[in-house]
């Protein structure tokens, strides 16, 4: 075997990798994760499964799996660490192979992942090799790539500063590391309960200036279980402590990069915080109570106070504008409008104010928040706002759309038509509603309108499901803008309606606003489907009412 610290020669990859699997009270999934690591083949010298003092029998399952499998070692912690960092550090300490990678107990390594990463590291003499991670929503199985632009094609990055986008991929699990590189630079995870430990670990890796090999191969499958009894740390965002931890991790990552002289990477980390973290949490503010909103606002203001103009300039417009509104106001304000701006794609809804000099601004009382970008950005990137109204009817259900003017840019481009589709949230299938002309606005309103017929029965063919509305706007100047629509909430809108159906007997149709304000549609065909929807709704309401009564 190759001695520790000496990378294997090309073609001599047997026993080159340690896979560190960490888990706590995850008996339902941990053996599947470990098996996926063992199945990587002879390149894996050892799988080190670190059990963080589980109480559900996970450790015993691992011991049973290790019997007769010399490549599997089980490390039992005697005290629960409260986080993911400490058990991963235990794995770093115990590793004996030249390279190592990390795997969480509820995820899997796809076949060939280790060989693909190891081959890239060996070919280029890279201290770090990274590949594509996909997020797999369960139970639907729908997948989406994580940071796909980084892994669109093979690349060798001599120093991280040469690819600033690297700071956006804060995952530690889709990467292979030279073990001696981590040890030589004392690169470890924060100990104990430290949510978002990946942020800090990744910053320490990038600050050490490794040579990185990037590959387009799928190397990690991240299972997202939103209905799990215990949400993962990254998904459990309901409490303000989660946001406090996220801002602290982002602050430490910035300080690490700046302290290493990587000023461009440090600025990119702040831009990423505005583009990703601020937008994601701003979209969810409407789901939180007033106490959370005030605390979030105060924490965000305190964190952003350290930013300078160069930090803001680096970030895309939606996150930058949201951050400037937060800094400009001591108390939470304009939350519905900020939620729409934070949506993907972004939507900037009226009112459209101007400063005394005529420049676009957030509002008349916040002229210090500029919106100059709406005058210069290409139309395909503008935060165009479309309102959508949908009233389910047994006969003649129609989707009504209204496209708002935006500081003269819409009229200048010449709106022509809108194409509408509903996308199945679980499997991505589409139902095409059609294309309609956008009619010029009335003199009193700067809004172009269109109507399209909708047959709810066409959506019901998929069974009980949620459908998201997607729009494509076309303009006379050749521009195209793909966007979503704001769910209008006027009288009689966004209500659950039972429709007679010749095919299904009964359809339960419910237009509603997502947490980002977009129009979506729940459809349940047949009496059984409708009953199931109502039962789930009742099960959610009863605990709330019981809590209120208490």
Highest mean pLDDT among 151-160, 234-243, 420-429, 433-442: 151-160
Question: 255 with 307, same domain?
Answer: yes
Residue 71 predicted with pLDDT over 70: yes
Question: 337 with 463, same domain?
Answer: no
Residue span of the structural domain in which 447 resides: 382-525
Question: 113 with 164, same domain?
Answer: yes
Coil, helix or strand at residue 96: coil
Token pair of 155, please?
């690349």
* pLDDT for position 262: 97
Question: 363 with 391, same domain?
Answer: no
Question: 361 with 484, same domain?
Answer: no
Residue 7 predicted with pLDDT over 80: no
Domain end point (choices 361, 376, 391): 376
pLDDT band at 228 (very low <50, low <70, confident <90, very high): low
Question: 171 with 22, same domain?
Answer: yes
**Whole-number percent of the chain with pLDDT over 90:** 81
Contact call for residues 136 and 224 (beta carbons, < 8 A) = yes
Query: What DSSP state is assigned to residue 379?
Result: G
Mean pLDDT of 430-440: 95
Question: 68 with 124, same domain?
Answer: yes
Question: 334 with 469, same domain?
Answer: no
Residue 315, in any domain of the structure:
yes
Cα gap 6→15, rounded to integer Å: 12
Residue 73, in any domain of the structure:
yes
* pLDDT for position 141: 87
Residue 206, in any domain of the structure:
yes
Across the chain, what does the average pLDDT equal? 91
Q: What is the pLDDT of residues 469-521, one digit of tens each?
A: 999 999 999 999 999 999 999 888 999 988 887 777 788 999 999 999 999 99
* pLDDT for position 229: 56
Cα gap 329→227, rounded to integer Å: 36
The count of other CB atoms within 10 Å of the CB of residue 548 is: 7
DSSP secondary structure of 36-94: HHHTT-TTEEEEEEEE-S-SSSHHHHHHHHHTT-TTEEEEE-SS--SSSHHHHHHHHHH
- For 443-456, b where at least 16 C-beta lie within 10 A, e where not — what string? eeebbbbbebebeb
Question: 143 with 208, same domain?
Answer: yes
Task: Name the strand (E) or helix (H) holding 118.
Answer: helix 113-124
Cα gap 399→379, rounded to integer Å: 24
Token pair of 191, please?
């100990």
Residue 60, in any domain of the structure:
yes
Residue 54 predicted with pLDDT over 50: yes
Coil, helix or strand at residue 237: coil
- The separation between the first and the last C-alpha atoms of the chain, rounded to the nearest angstrom, is 65
Question: Which CA distances in Å does 45 have to 1, 50, 183, 234?
Answer: 10, 16, 19, 30
Q: What is the pLDDT of residues 191-214, one digit of tens each?
A: 999 999 999 999 999 999 999 999
Contact call for residues 204 and 115 (beta carbons, < 8 A) = no
Residue 545 predicted with pLDDT over 50: no
Question: Which CA distances in Å does 118 have to 78, 125, 158?
Answer: 33, 10, 17
Least confident of 317-331, 337-351, 519-533: 519-533
Residue 242, class by beta-carbon neighbours within 10 Å (0-12 exposed, 13-18 middle, 19+ buried)? middle
Q: What is the CA radius of gyration of the chain?
A: 26
Question: 217 with 303, same domain?
Answer: no
Residue 380, class by beta-carbon neighbours within 10 Å (0-12 exposed, 13-18 middle, 19+ buried)? middle
* pLDDT for position 284: 95
- Phi, psi torsion values for 36, nearest 5 degrees: -65, -30
DSSP secondary structure of 153-169: S-EEESSGGG-GGGGG-
* pLDDT for position 12: 59
* pLDDT for position 2: 35
Residue 330, in any domain of the structure:
yes
Question: 389 with 517, same domain?
Answer: yes
**Domain of residue 460, CATH code:** 2.60.40
- For 28-53, b where at least 16 C-beta lie within 10 A, e where not — what string? ebbbebbebbbebeebbbbbbbbbbb
Domain total of the chain: 3
Question: 148 with 52, same domain?
Answer: yes
Residue 542 predicted with pLDDT over 80: no
Contact call for residues 191 and 89 (beta carbons, < 8 A) = yes
Token pair of 427, please?
């499997």
pLDDT band at 162 (very low <50, low <70, confident <90, very high): very high
């Amino acid at each position: 075997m190759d001695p520790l610290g000496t990378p294997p020669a090309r073609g001599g990859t047997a026993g080159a990798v340690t896979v560190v699997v960490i888990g706590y009270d995850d008996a339902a999934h941990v053996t599947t994760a470990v098996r996926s690591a063992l199945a990587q083949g002879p390149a894996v010298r050892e799988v080190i499964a670190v059990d963080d003092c589980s109480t559900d029998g996970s450790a015993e399952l691992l011991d049973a799996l290790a019997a007769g499998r010399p490549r599997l070692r089980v490390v039992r912690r005697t005290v629960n660490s409260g986080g993911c960092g400490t058990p991963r550090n235990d794995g770093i300490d115990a590793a004996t192979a030249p390279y190592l990678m990390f795997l969480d107990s509820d995820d899997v390594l796809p076949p060939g992942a280790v060989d693909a990463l190891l081959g890239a590291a060996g070919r280029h003499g890279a201290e770090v090799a990274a590949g594509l991670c996909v997020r797999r929503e369960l139970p639907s199985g729908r997948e989406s790539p994580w940071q796909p632009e980084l892994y669109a094609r093979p690349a060798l990055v001599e120093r991280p500063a040469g690819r600033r986008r690297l700071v956006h991929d804060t995952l530690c699990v889709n990467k292979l590391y030279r073990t001696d590189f981590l040890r030589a630079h004392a690169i470890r995870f924060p100990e104990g309960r430290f949510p978002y430990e990946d942020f800090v670990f990744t910053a320490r890796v990038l600050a050490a200036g490794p040579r990185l090999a990037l590959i387009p191969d799928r190397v990690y499958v991240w299972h997202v279980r939103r209905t799990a009894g215990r949400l993962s740390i990254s998904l459990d965002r309901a409490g303000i402590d989660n946001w406090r931890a996220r801002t602290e991790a982002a602050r430490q990552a910035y300080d690490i990069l700046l302290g290493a002289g990587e000023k461009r990477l440090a600025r990119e980390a702040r831009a990423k915080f505005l583009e990703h973290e601020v937008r994601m949490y701003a979209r969810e503010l409407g789901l939180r109570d007033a106490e959370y909103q005030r605390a979030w606002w105060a924490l965000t203001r305190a964190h952003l106070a350290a930013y300078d103009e160069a930090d803001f300039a680096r970030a895309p417009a939606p996150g930058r504008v949201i951050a400037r509104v937060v800094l400009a106001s001591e108390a939470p304000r304009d939350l519905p409008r900020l939620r729409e701006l934070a949506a993907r794609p972004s939507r900037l809804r009226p009112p459209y104010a101007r400063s005394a000099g005529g420049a676009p601004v957030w509002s008349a009382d916040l002229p210090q928040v500029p919106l100059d970008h709406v005058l210069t950005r290409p139309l395909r990137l503008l935060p165009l706002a479309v309102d959508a109204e949908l009233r389910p009817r047994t006969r003649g259900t129609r989707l009504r759309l209204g496209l708002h003017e935006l500081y003269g840019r819409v009229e200048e481009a010449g709106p022509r038509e809108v194409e509408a589709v509903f996308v199945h949230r679980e499997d991505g299938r589409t139902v095409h509603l059609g294309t309609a002309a956008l009619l010029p606005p009335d003199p009193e309103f700067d809004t172009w309108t269109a109507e399209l017929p909708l047959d709810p029965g066409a959506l019901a063919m998929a069974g009980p499901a949620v459908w998201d509305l997607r729009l494509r706007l076309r303009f006379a100047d050749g521009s195209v803008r793909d966007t979503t629509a704001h769910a209008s909430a006027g009288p009689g809108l966004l209500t659950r309606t039972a429709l007679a159906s010749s095919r299904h007997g009964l359809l339960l149709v419910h237009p509603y606003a997502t947490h980002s304000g977009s129009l979506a549609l729940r459809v349940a065909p047949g009496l059984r489907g409708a009953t199931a929807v109502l039962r789930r709704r009742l099960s959610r309401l009863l605990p709330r009412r019981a809590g209120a009564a208490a």
